[in-house]
Each structure stands twice: as C-alpha cells, then as structure tokens.
C-alpha cells in the first residue's frame, strides 16, 4: 500500500522513570498545496521484531496543469542508501513515491526533511515500554477537501495487535481510512519482546549452555578416572599346578 501526500517528522517524547521509551516517532503528513484540490494520502509502514521500520509513502494530487509535477520529495542525504524516491503518476494523480527500508526510529525522524512544506496535520508516536509497543496518532484533515480526498494509513506489527481503534486487516495489520473535514485519532497496542532484552537472554542462554557442557565434560572425566575395578588375571600369566600345591 502506498501513501500520497505524506511526510514523516518526529517529535520527541518524555522519558519516564518507570518507562523506558525506545523511541518516539512523530510522522507528519506533507502539507503540500493540495488542500484546495483532490488529495490522495496513503502510507504503509511495517515494524520488524528488531524495531526496524520499512515501507513506502506516496504524496500525490491532481495536477493543476500539464506542467504541475505534484508534491516533490527528496531523500535525506544521510539516508541515501536506505531511502529511494521516484516519480508517481497513477489514476490522474502525480507526485512522489518514497521507499524506505531498515530504518531505525531515529532514521524515521529524518524523513521530515524530505519537504520544506510540512505542517502538523498528522502526528504519530511509537513508544516502547518493556514488551509493550504503543502507537498513538492524531490526524487533522479539517482543511482537506471533502470531495476527492483519499487518506489511508496502514501499519504492520511483528505480533498480534492487542487493542486498536482502526480496522484489523489481520491479527497484526491495522488500517485507518481517515475522513476529510475531521480530526481523527489512531491507537494500537502490541506486545513483543524487546530486541535488547532478547539479545541479553540469548547471550545468557549461550553462557548457561556452555557451563552445562563444561560440567558434563568434568563429570565424564571423573567417571573414567575413578578407581578401576580389579583386573582379571592375564591369560599369559603362569598358572599354579596341583603338584605345586601338594606338600613335600
């Protein structure tokens, strides 16, 4: 799924003493000059179990004339190897299509630099607290035209979504179709293990397995080196004859 007219910028979140926030990412839709015409905003994002973000964004409008290229996005120089931008032209809409892959939450913040024409139409925060990942967002489309507006946002999680106010496409995928002329909220919660905790647990498991292996080796060596059982006399040893045992 693609997302026209979308741009992502990040707003920092407050760190609590009781909550460790891995990252907070605010995604801000591109406020390109399309609010007086047809608008298509569709964005798709996937979060991996390692908290890596991949997806695509399409920002497009109906051109005012044949020379109107629609929204023009530019990949941040720091993300040149992870972000690719190409022209978009479909169903009479023109603009830009952005593909991004293996972004950290910090990398996603830099997507806000793809356009100078941005405003806080769409804010999305991703927060981790232990094994709980929460998505909270706010979309302001009060100024968007009620006719010809198509705004959708889809996100895929690496585990089953526990709660959401969106439409479940599957256990782990949620979509919001956002109406023009309104302010909408987005909410979803999902539980999956913290990748940092998983790494520590894996290392602890390796260490425990190594310790068990050493223990087994020591135990085996001790068994083989215990006091040997009396050996049977050798077949080559001389045997005492009956005559040798007869008194003289």
Structure tokens at 147: 């006719």
DSSP 87: E
Sign of CA dihedral 34, 35, 37, 41: positive
Higher-scoring residue by pLDDT: 98, 203:
98
Gap between the Cα atoms of 189 and 139, Å rounded: 18
Structure tokens at 111: 């997507």
Quickly list DSSP for 226-243: SPPPPPPPPTTSPPPPHH
State which H helix or E strand residue 221 sits in: helix 195-224
CB 167, CB 175: distance < 8 Å: yes
Gap between the Cα atoms of 148 and 107, Å rounded: 32
Higher-scoring residue by pLDDT: 245, 54:
54
Q: What is the mean pLDDT of residues 29-38?
A: 50
| Stated length of the chain | 248
Residue 187 has pLDDT above 50, yes or no: yes
pTM, two decimal places: 0.66
Per-residue confidence band for 208, with pLDDT thresholds at 50, 70 and 90: low
Structure tokens at 144: 């968007």
Q: With pLDDT > 70 as the criterion, what percentage of the chain qualifies?
A: 61
Least confident range from 37-51, 154-168, 222-236: namely 222-236
- Which residues, 6+ apart, have CB-to-CB distance to 26 below 8 Å? 8, 9, 10, 11, 123, 124, 125
Residue 19 has pLDDT above 80, yes or no: no
Residue 229 has pLDDT above 50, yes or no: yes
Gap between the Cα atoms of 144 and 36, Å rounded: 7
Q: What is the pLDDT of residues 78-115, one digit of tens each?
A: 999 999 999 999 999 999 999 999 988 777 767 767 87
Q: Give the residue among 63, 77, 73, 12 at the shortest CA–CA distance from 34.
A: 63
Per-residue confidence band for 119, with pLDDT thresholds at 50, 70 and 90: low
CA distances from 114 to 32, 98, 149, 178 (A): 12, 10, 22, 23
Structure tokens at 221: 């060596």
State which H helix or E strand residue 135 sits in: strand 132-140
Q: Where are the domains of the chain?
A: 39-193, 194-224
């Amino acid at each position: 799924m693609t997302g026209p007219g979308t741009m992502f910028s990040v707003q920092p979140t407050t760190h609590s003493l009781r909550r460790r926030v891995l990252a907070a990412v605010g995604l801000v839709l591109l406020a390109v000059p399309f609010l007086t015409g047809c608008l298509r905003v569709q964005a798709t994002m996937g979060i991996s179990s390692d908290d890596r973000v991949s997806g695509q964004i399409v920002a497009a409008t109906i051109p005012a004339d044949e020379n109107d290229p629609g929204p023009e996005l530019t990949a941040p120089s720091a993300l040149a190897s992870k972000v690719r931008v190409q022209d978009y032209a479909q169903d009479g809409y023109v603009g830009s299509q952005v593909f991004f892959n293996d972004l950290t939450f910090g990398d996603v913040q830099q997507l806000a630099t793809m356009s100078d024409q941005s405003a806080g139409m769409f804010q999305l925060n991703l927060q981790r607290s232990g094994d709980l990942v929460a998505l909270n967002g706010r979309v302001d489309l009060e100024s968007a035209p009620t006719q010809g507006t198509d705004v959708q946002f889809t996100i895929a999680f690496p585990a089953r979504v526990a709660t959401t106010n969106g439409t479940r496409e599957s256990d782990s995928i949620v979509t919001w179709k956002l109406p023009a002329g309104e302010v909408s909220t987005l909410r979803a919660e999902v539980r999956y293990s913290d990748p940092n905790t998983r790494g520590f647990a894996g290392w602890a498991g390796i260490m425990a397995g190594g310790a068990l292996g050493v223990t087994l080796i020591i135990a085996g060596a001790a068994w083989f080196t215990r006091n040997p059982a009396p050996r049977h006399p050798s077949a080559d040893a001389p045997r005492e004859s009956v005559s040798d045992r007869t008194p003289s």
